[in-house]
Amino acid sequence: MIVFINDHPIRLVGAKAAAKLTEPELVRGSVLVDYDLIIDARLEVLKQDALHGHLLVLNSTPATISRLLTLLQKADSSQLLSITLGCQNKEACEDAIKKPFKIIKAAGGVVVKSNKLLLMFRRGVWDLPKGKLDDGESSRQGAAREVQEETGVRVTVGDRICTTWHTYTLNGNRILKRTKWYRMSVLDDSRMAPQVDEDIEKLAWLDPRETQLALTNSFSSIRYVIESMNKVVSR
């Protein structure tokens, strides 16, 4: 599970997977290549000064999760790049990270046409079309509907790319949005137009180089989706 809190990627892995992350031969001879700091939650309490660079927290528990969420809400985390939580009980940790939030289910898509991706510029950043599922709607149905509503493009829905979770605040409520992402092909883009009432300023078909440039002004979760799709395609 990967959760984007304040746009910081927080990855939860099981104990066995976490143990492999600290095996030197698996990280090119040094764990410091991947992590700036490694903490064992059994031996020390997570503190604000640990929130920088790439952080690995071993033997995490629900109490560790609660402590981390409090720090991320109150402390300065501007120097934090990512956190990996090696959980003693991964399911319990996942429940703990979801507990303080209202969960909303959503779906979205990466639309591909002639080696170009459809991105939209909204509220000052590049984004991908996505939105909340209607009652009784499947993720695949919702993804296609949201793409058409936000961009005017009719699509066919292909394979699922990944699932992201990201947080935000709405009317004083702390929201955790679960979004299932799909690769999509174009059926008809003759009516392509940005959905203005959703603050979408423009749409663009971007080639790989243009996409990478646009992603420098985007969200970590959006970069993760496109990176995940590229990894699947390259296999």
Q: Give the model confidence (pLDDT) of 47-63 as tens digits.
A: 999 999 999 999 999 99
How far is residue 3's CA from residue 9's CA, in Å, rounded to a whole number? 6
> How confident is the model at residue 78, as a pLDDT?
87
Q: What angle do CA 178, 183, 188 make, to 5 degrees?
A: 120
CA distances from residue 235 to 31, 161, 209 in whole angstroms, order as listed = 26, 13, 20
Q: Which domains does the chain have, with CATH numbers?
A: 2-98 (no CATH), 103-234 (3.90.79.10)
Q: Give the model confidence (pLDDT) of 190-211 as tens digits.
A: 999 999 998 999 999 999 999 9
What six digits make up the tokens of 47? Answer: 């503190």
Q: Is the distance from CB of 42 to CB of 59 less than 8 angstroms?
A: yes
> How confident is the model at residue 28, as a pLDDT?
43
Of the candidates 26, 49, 38, 202, the residue with the CA atom closest to the CA atom of residue 127:
202
Q: Using a pLDDT cut of 90, give the percent of the chain over it.
A: 80
Assessment of whether the complete model's pTM goes beyond 0.85: yes
How far is residue 46's CA from residue 63's CA, in Å, rounded to a whole number? 10
Residues 6+ apart with CB under 8 A from 185: 111, 112, 113, 155, 156, 158
Residue 68 has pLDDT above 90, yes or no: yes
Of the candidates 3, 10, 200, the residue with the CA atom closest to the CA atom of residue 103:
3
CA distances from residue 56 to 23, 39, 83, 183, 223 in whole angstroms, order as listed = 13, 6, 6, 31, 21
Q: Give the model confidence (pLDDT) of 125-182 as tens digits.
A: 999 999 999 999 999 999 999 999 999 999 999 999 999 999 988 888 899 999 999 9
Residue 188 has pLDDT above 60, yes or no: yes
